[in-house]
Structure 1
Amino acid sequence: MAKIDTDLDKIGLIIQKQLEVFDLAAKELSKKYGVVPDYLTITMLLYRKIIEKLDAIFILLENESEKAAESINRDLFENILYFLYIVDPIGNPKVRALSYHYSYLQDKLHLADLLLTPKEDGKKVRRFMGIENNNGEIKKMKIEREKIFNSLQREEYNNIKIEWRYLINKKGQKHPKWYSLFKGPKSLRELSKKYGYLVEYLTLYNLFSNQVHTTNILHQIENVNGTAYLKNLRVYDNPELVLQFSRSLGVKSLVEFINFFIPEEKDNIQNWLRKNILKK
């Protein structure tokens, strides 16, 4: 337990430092731009999601909910790969961040169309939401759909829209992965390989997927002297796996955030990591 507590403390320190540098970068961006460009805001908010996921893992592990933490760790891994792709100095961060948001808007538009369709699927969803005969709510949804549609027509999305349609019409992709636009990685596996995480994708990501898709239900049973017992809902099986992986992802995201937004803090963050996180 002492080792687990020490590792948890380090994750807590990483979260605190992530929040600290996030606030510092936000102040520097406001000072530099006044109105921060959309692509930088998107990138900042993606990083904040990483902090949120790491914080959730910390809370779950602190309460011995290891299996639930595995699900969030899988999400954290995906979020960090997205972040690495956007801030990659070899790529175009503006185009990549806007592609990420364009994909999000496409998802929202698809959902709005589903909610408003006169087909049976739409009726079932509206009935479930209790708004089937609520003209006021339906009117609000139509207005929201119009806002989403108009956002997708913004000039900054013109090239992205052309590429998106190309992948749908010429490549037969029903819903393109945003990172696959402009000859990017075609899958999460390729994205993992691009940033040196292929082994983690093949092992830990797929292992944590068992928890997400609930293919590991028999892991709830333990054998004691030939008798089967149900484990406690909150139990440590192998918390080091989640602890070490989430901690390494937290460190990676922290370093890359600094490199992209406030590179003048590189030396400070390396010294802090050596003193607080990387020490044995």
Structure 2
Amino acid sequence: MTFYVDNIEDFENKTNLNVLSKVIRFAEYLLEEIIKDRTFIQQDKAILVFFRQLVEQADGVYLAMDQDSISLARTSIRNAFESSLALMYILEEAQSIGRRALSYIVHDIHEEIQWIEHAIETNVLAEHISTEELETAKQAKLNKLSTRQLQPIEDEWIRTDAALPQSYSPKWYSLFNGPRSIKQLARHLNPTSAKVKVIKDLQFSIINTK
């Protein structure tokens, strides 16, 4: 399921909206069938996360366009497009699927740790959870990063992070010398396509509709 829109006005045609709705319904059914009565390894879970995000974001595009909300639709289209690129990148090479999927998991854990640290520093959750409980949760995340499966990815995350300005964190797809931005990711996946231009146009449109 690749999400690519050449022109947002395409969705102003209700026939196209109906097609999108059918695709979303089928994708939801497919997802339910995939996860039914199955046990998944970690990298499978990362792939399913992006697929679920893509379905939900495509549904957001449908709802926005059905209500004639162009500005909201542009944001949803960009998000769906990025999820589509993420899936394409993970699945691009069979030998790299595991490493790329685990790169996303490590990135996600680091974001959770940053959120916990923010909660500890600001005491924003004091009424609901103690500092000790937050520290325990943080340590659990750190322990997960030190497991045999994730430690090599964590080492690469640390190496990549050290080369960036202090206020930036690595993009998960930038690990192991991957693309450093969403534009580079689109160019990497198909350097001759219009995907890079679409991203630039969506960025401009979103900024100018806020």
TM-score with structure 1 setting the length: 0.64
Letter in 2 for 1:191: L
Q: How big is the shift at 1:83?
A: 0.7
Q: Which runs of 5+ in 1 are unaligned?
A: 218-280
Task: Give the Cα–Cα distance (whole angstroms) in 1 for the partners of residues 128 and 35 of structure 2.
Answer: 41
Equivalent of 1:23 in 32, 39, 58: 32
Shift of the 57–74 alpha-carbon distance from structure 1 to 2, 3 Å rule, reads same
Shift of the 16–165 alpha-carbon distance from structure 1 to 2, 3 Å rule, reads same
Query: Residues 222-251 of structure 1: CA distance to partner in whole angstroms, max 9, x if unpaired?
Result: xxxxxxxxxxxxxxxxxxxxxxxxxxxxxx
State the secondary structure of the residue aligned to 1:185.
coil
Q: Is the 8 A contact 2:71 2:209 kept in 1?
A: no
- The residue aligned with 1:88 is 92
Q: Is the 8 A contact 2:103 2:153 kept in 1?
A: yes
Q: Which has the higher contact order (CA 8 A, sep 6+)?
A: 1
The root-mean-square deviation of aligned C-alpha atoms, in Å, is 2.5
State the secondary structure of the residue aligned to 2:177.
coil
Letter in 2 for 1:18: A
Q: How big is the shift at 1:66?
A: 1.4
Q: How big is the shift at 1:143?
A: 2.4
Q: Which runs of 5+ in 2 are unaligned?
A: 1-9
Answering whether residue 206 of structure 2 is matched by residue 209 of structure 1, we say no
The number of aligned residues is: 198
Equivalent of 1:191 in 169, 185, 193: 185
Task: Give the Cα–Cα distance (whole angstroms) in 2 for the partners of residues 106 and 2 of structure 1.
Answer: 37
Task: Give the Cα–Cα distance (whole angstroms) in 1 for the partners of residues 125 and 30 of structure 2.
Answer: 43
TM-score with structure 2 setting the length: 0.83
Q: How big is the shift at 1:72?
A: 0.9
- The residue aligned with 2:66 is 62
Q: Is the 8 A contact 2:11 2:17 kept in 1?
A: no
Task: Report percent identity of matched pairs.
Answer: 18
Equivalent of 1:5 in 10, 14, 29: 14
Task: Give the Cα–Cα distance (whole angstroms) in 1 for the partners of residues 183 and 11 of structure 2.
Answer: 36
Task: Give the Cα–Cα distance (whole angstroms) in 2 for the partners of residues 72 and 91 of structure 1.
Answer: 31
Task: Give the Cα–Cα distance (whole angstroms) in 1 for the partners of residues 187 and 120 of structure 2.
Answer: 40
Q: How big is the shift at 1:49?
A: 0.6
